[in-house]
Amino acid sequence: MELLHPWRLDFRQPPELRPAPVVSLVLPCFNEQEVLPETTRRLVALMARLEGDGQAAPGSAIYYVDDGSSDGTWRLIAEYAAAFPVVCGVKLSRNRGHQNALLCGLLTVPGDVLISLDADLQDDLEAIPRMLDNYRAGSEIVYAVRSSREQDSFFKRTSAEAYYRLLALLGVQVQFNHADFRLMSRCAIESLRGYEETHLFLRGLVPQLGYRTSVVEFERAPRFAGTSKYPLRKMLSLAWQGVTSFTAYPLRLITGAGALVSLGSLLLSAWALGIRLFTDQAVPGWASVVIPMYLLGGIQLLSLGVIGEYLAKVYESTKKRPRFHIEAVCGEGFDKERP
């Protein structure tokens, strides 16, 4: 039996002998018609440069994944695919969210190396040649991390910092200040295929794969045009997925809190009994009854909510619903053999 994954076989060679890979850029797009012309212009130039420098093999291409946009995004993608042989597109049947659109791209496009990035030009394209250098030097996964968060608002900066700290505290392995701008080799992608999570949090999933990883730093630019497609609601939902998909710690916390409150109430009962038996006073207090009642009621409801969230996850997972449906594809890249 072949123990090594077939995609690993090429990697027995010393890194400097690795041939230039076929590079696929994967960009989820949701209502991005304002940025696509500039993004395409820059990416087409980048691909030509990478091929010219021998960093990317012929056949390398740009893959836009249209996440059910309601504006002219797909029309533009189809136009560019007809005009530039390096541009290809995948259209999802409806909006499935950034993580699902990205996963669709990663699991369907061909190529030896897949690099995911945002369509709004916030991710610095100059980091891509450095990521490819790291790949040639033996990394299967290269994370692009932000060297600073000065661009962000005070709220986003502090909440992101607190969130990453919380994840670390809960034992969830994530790369600090890394979103979804990363390089993955074919070998890593094929391993990712084995994970069938309904609720995706790729930032937490990719570190689970293992393999040799490395990091390149980049300065994140402001969005080139258009508005953010990640409102606070979607961000909070993603943050919650990050916690509940990777640790059962909140459930354990509830058990701990329950044990603590029970112990406290036992002590309180002993105290009340002591007063009743050994003194002639009654236990005073409206406050000592009513406050714990509301407090415990609140904690109980909160705990039920957290348990319910995990249960809902189990429920969703048992249905095994597909995470995306592809409505159409365009471009020459898809004429080639699929991975």
Which residues in this chain contact ligand UDP in the complex, by CB under 6 A?
28-30, 32, 67, 95, 97-98, 101, 118-120, 122, 223, 228-230
- CB 108 → ligand UDP: shortest distance, Å? 15
| Cβ atoms of 223 and 125 closer than 8 Å | no
| Cβ atoms of 106 and 184 closer than 8 Å | yes
Residue 216 pairs with which residues in a beta bridge?
144
| Cβ atoms of 35 and 226 closer than 8 Å | yes
By beta-carbon proximity to ligand UDP, the closer residue of 69 and 244 is 69
Q: Which amino acid is at 268?
A: L
- CB 310 → ligand UDP: shortest distance, Å? 24
- CB 210 → Mg ion: shortest distance, Å? 29
| Contacted by 182, from ligand UDP, Mg ion, none: CB < 5 to 8 Å by type | none
By beta-carbon proximity to ligand UDP, the closer residue of 30 and 74 is 30
Q: Is 327 helix (H, G, I), strand (E, B) or coil?
A: strand
32 binds Mg ion (CB under 5 A): no
- CB 160 → Mg ion: shortest distance, Å? 14
By beta-carbon proximity to Mg ion, the closer residue of 173 and 228 is 228
By beta-carbon proximity to ligand UDP, the closer residue of 101 and 216 is 101
Continuous H helices in the chain: 36-52, 73-83, 98-108, 127-136, 154-169, 186-192, 202-205, 232-244, 249-278, 287-319
Q: Number of H helices and number of E strands within the chain?
A: 10, 8
Per-residue contact string for residues 85-124; x = within reach of Mg ion by CB under 5 A: ---------------------------------x-x-x--
| Cβ atoms of 258 and 303 closer than 8 Å | yes
Distance CA(20)–CA(259), nearest Å, equals 59
By beta-carbon proximity to Mg ion, the closer residue of 60 and 69 is 69
- CB 31 → ligand UDP: shortest distance, Å? 7
Distance CA(282)–CA(277), nearest Å, equals 10
Q: Interface residues with Mg ion (CB under 5 A)?
A: 118, 120, 122
